[in-house]
Amino acid sequence: MENKQKTAVIGGGSWATAIVKMLTENNNLIGWYMRNSESISHIKENNHNPKYLASAELDATYLDLSDDINYTIKNYDILIFAIPSAFLTSELNKLKLSLEGKIIFSAIKGIVPETGLIIGEHFNQQYQIPLENIGVITGPCHAEEVAMERLSYLTVACIDEQKATLMGKSLESWYIKVKISDDIIGTEYAAMLKNIYAVAAGIAHGLGYGDNFQSVLMSNAIREMKRFIKKRHKMKRNINNSAYLGDLLVTGYSVFSRNRMFGNMIGKGYTVRSAQHEMSMVAEGYYATKSAFQIKEENATKTPIIDAVYNVLYGNKNPKKEFEKLTNKLD
């Protein structure tokens, strides 16, 4: 991966907008694919995304905007996917070009519903992208705080350390610090799982549980995450590092967390459908819960928190009763 290679962001939501802002801080020309042509026109004229992170200042002179995914794929070498996982397949179905030779970085914190795979595995198995050409961009980092230029930390993971390092340098600025990792599988599973635990934290809050219970819930969640990831990809990793524990905590506790917000609505009595309808953003944890439950069943992993969230979201179980049962399984 050379500095001459051109980078593009695929997606038009909050996280995609935040990544574009980070990349253009270093005065780099960035490709940007988004479906909404009206948003493209607005960004060109007003230098901000009207639908997401409207407060984030963007310099359109450094943006090559397009509503044609094939144009962006053709003209850029490094592709950062920042599309909600539920919509990734429909966007990739628009491709008329091969992804051969492309370097793929996933900024998607979810799992592909159609295949049950995390994003890196999906590109590797479905599009034959070599693992050394696949990377992950993860937190702990909320897009909203990037827009406000508050000090934030990212983790960039790739088997090829040079690719991770160069991507990290392209994202760094005075308010963005980047750590490098070679654990692409573990960091991506952690990014997926923390959304489920944030839903759990939201449900607990909606039910009226306080900070004392939330601390126990998060303590158990990081240990549950460790067991889950170890079953999927055994390697030496420190689960207390920011990419795992830090990302879990910010997603579980932050007022910006859409997954916590979604769970809070469920705890307060909303149905899944009504909560989804009221939210303007996708809660990745909803889709991740079903896939994580299926994976843990295959691997016989002990996951009482995932089980409780699954029973509420997909088993139509009463949240109050399920969390009463869960309180007896935590320590």
CATH code for residues 7-182: 3.40.50.720
Pairing of strands 111-112, 7-10: unpaired
pLDDT-flagged residues of the chain (< 70)? 1-3
The encoded tokens of residue 306 equal 């995932």
pLDDT at 3: 57
pLDDT digits (tens, 9 = 90+) for 173-188: 999 999 999 999 899 9
Domain locations in the chain as residue ranges: 7-182, 186-327
Residue pair 306/196 in contact by the 8 Å Cβ criterion: yes
Return the structure tokens found at 305: 């928190």
What pairing do the DSSP bridges indicate for beta strands 30-33 and 152-158? unpaired
- Single out the catalytic residue among 109, 194, 226, 296: 194
Structure tokens at 308: 């409780």
pLDDT of amino acid 256 = 83
Q: Which two tokens stand for residue 160?
A: 């090829």
Rg of the chain taking only CA atoms, in angstroms: 19
What does the pLDDT read at residue 26?
A: 86
Provide the token pair at 169.
């340098």
Judge whether 194 counts as a catalytic residue: yes
Q: Give, as one character, the DSSP assignment of residue 60.
A: G
Q: What is the pLDDT of residue 213?
A: 95
Fold of 186-327: N-(1-d-carboxylethyl)-l-norvaline Dehydrogenase; domain 2 (1.10.1040)
Structure-token pair, residue 67? 């509503």
Please name which of 240, 141, 229, 152 lies closest in space to residue 192, comparing C-alpha atoms: 229
